[in-house]
Amino acid sequence: MSERQYVGIDLHRRRSVIVRVDRDGKHLSTVWVPNGAIEEARAVEEAGPNPEVVLEATYGYYWLVDLLEELGATIHLANRSGLNWRNRRVKNDERDALDLVKKLRLGERPEAWIPPPAVRESPIENGSSPLSLGCNTFELCLGPLDKVFLRLLRIGNGRWS
């Protein structure tokens, strides 16, 4: 029987860096994968059955948490504000993933709450969500001037006039 491995994932919008270490902290692999269910699953599958996985609480991490839980991984979400990465001399994606997995293995990670699917349900599907605060998801990301331009586009049937 293989021993449990630890996986650290530095998740970005288009790709992720995935680092694996063993129980003793020996670095086993680092891979860069494009974001997608198949690619992420294959990379984490290398860690064997029921790996311990840590990822940073960033925008859009829900899909990855759901995927990895379905694959049998134990998921830990690291609170960004408790990582103190501003004090590091070297900051890159591989180092971020390696530090995440090191903190997981040593029990030093600042834990963040993973809301259940019922709480983070998409506001597009049912019109409201406790996390959306009743706002349109797209408009929530826009600034005041962007919202004015968006309204102008809607009034002009998608054309600038």
Q: Pick the closest to residue 20 from 37, 3, 36 (CA basis).
A: 3
Answer whether residue 161 is part of any domain.
no
Q: How far apart, in whole angstroms, are the C-alpha atoms of residue 75 and residue 5? A: 13
Residues 95 and 137 in one domain: no
- Domain with 137, as residue range(s), is 126-155
Q: Using alpha carbons only, how large is the chain's radius of gyration in Å?
A: 19
Element (H, E) at 31: strand 27-34
- Specify the amino acid at residue 134: G
Residues 62 and 133 in one domain: no
Residues 101 and 133 in one domain: no
Q: Pick the closest to residue 59 from 37, 33, 77, 86 (CA basis).
A: 77
pLDDT in tens, 102-128: 989 888 878 888 888 777 765 544 444
* Tokens coding 97: 């993933």
- Partners of 21 in the beta sheet? 6, 27
Answer whether residue 90 is part of any domain.
yes
Amino acid 137: pLDDT: 47
Amino acid 156: pLDDT: 47
Answer whether residue 1 is part of any domain.
no
**pLDDT band, very low/low/confident/very high, at 158 (cuts 50, 70, 90):** very low
Residues 69 and 20 in one domain: yes
Answer whether residue 117 is part of any domain.
no
Q: How far apart, in whole angstroms, are the C-alpha atoms of residue 84 and residue 48? A: 30
For 137-150, what is the mean pLDDT?
50
CB atoms within 10 A of CB 60: 10
Answer whether residue 119 is part of any domain.
no
Answer whether residue 88 is part of any domain.
yes
- The DSSP bridge pattern shows strands 6-11 and 52-56 to be parallel
How many distinct structural domains can be found in the chain? 2
Residues 60 and 137 in one domain: no
Confidence check: pLDDT of 144 > 80: no
Residues 12 and 66 in one domain: yes
Amino acid 143: pLDDT: 52
pLDDT in tens, 9-66: 999 888 999 999 999 999 999 999 998 889 999 999 999 999 999 998 888 888 899 9
- The DSSP bridge pattern shows strands 52-56 and 27-34 to be unpaired
Q: How far apart, in whole angstroms, are the C-alpha atoms of residue 74 and residue 136? A: 32
Amino acid 84: pLDDT: 72
